[in-house]
Structure 1
Amino acid sequence: MMDGWYGSGWGIGGWIVMAVLMLIFWGGVVTVVVLLLRRPHPGQGFAERPAQDEAERILNERFARGEIDEQELTARRAVLRRRE
């Protein structure tokens, strides 16, 4: 009798599909926001470099600039590696 706008919908199936699609949409939005906030900033990685690597890098730079000689470089490097 009433074959109007209200009577020809998807019924409960339409509501379920809409609810699932909304969950997928908002889940995607939240995922993108979290990934953008957690990404490493320039000059940073996900994991910090160990202090020993940083110390050896500084020693190598000092040797390259001529601040320390080869004997001091090898002695200090040996001390750093002994701490492992």
Structure 2
Amino acid sequence: MFWWGTHMGGWGYALMAFSTVVFWALVITAIVVGIRAVRHVRTTPTPPERSAPEQLLAERYARGEIDDDEYRRRLDTLTARTRSDLPG
């Protein structure tokens, strides 16, 4: 009854079923990708804050980049500058 004339045949039904499955697969994939993109934007880490100058100096001293005399000299310079920046 449906295999002749202007009605859709067996291949038409198969194509319609296949295209419906593909359509819903694309919709679900788009939703999943959108959710992951939003989560990625919210969970992207912020760059670390810069340490205090004394902390950076101590790290350089600990790594052996500067010796004891230079460390003390630079630390004295930093603390003297900090004291002069204070009001009063």
Q: TM-score, normalised by structure 1?
A: 0.52
Corresponding residue to 2:15 among 17, 41, 46 = 17
Deviation of residue 68 (structure 1)? 2.5
Tell me the distance in 1 between the aligned counterparts of 2:6 and 2:27. Answer: 32
**What is the correspondence of 1:1-84 to structure 2 with a 5 Å cutoff?**
7-39=5-37, 40-42=40-42, 44=44, 57-58=48-49, 61-62=50-51, 65-70=52-57, 72-74=58-60, 75=62
Percentage of matched positions with identical amino acids: 26
Pairwise CA RMSD: 3.1
Structure 2: tracts of 5 or more residues without a match: 65-88
> 1:82 corresponds to which residue?
none
CA 1:69/1:7 → structure 2, altered by over 3 Å: closer, same or farther?
Answer: closer
More relative contact order, 1 or 2 (CA 8 Å, 6+ apart):
1
Q: TM-score, normalised by structure 2?
A: 0.50
CA 1:14/1:43 → structure 2, altered by over 3 Å: closer, same or farther?
Answer: same
Structure 1: tracts of 5 or more residues without a match: 46-53, 79-84
Tell me the distance in 2 between the aligned counterparts of 1:69 and 1:27. Answer: 53
Q: Look at both structures and tell me which one has the larger radius of gyration over its CA atoms.
A: 2
The amino acid of 1:66's aligned partner reads P
CA 1:29/1:69 → structure 2, altered by over 3 Å: closer, same or farther?
Answer: closer
Deviation of residue 7 (structure 1)? 4.0
Instruction: Number of aligned residue pairs: give it.
Output: 58
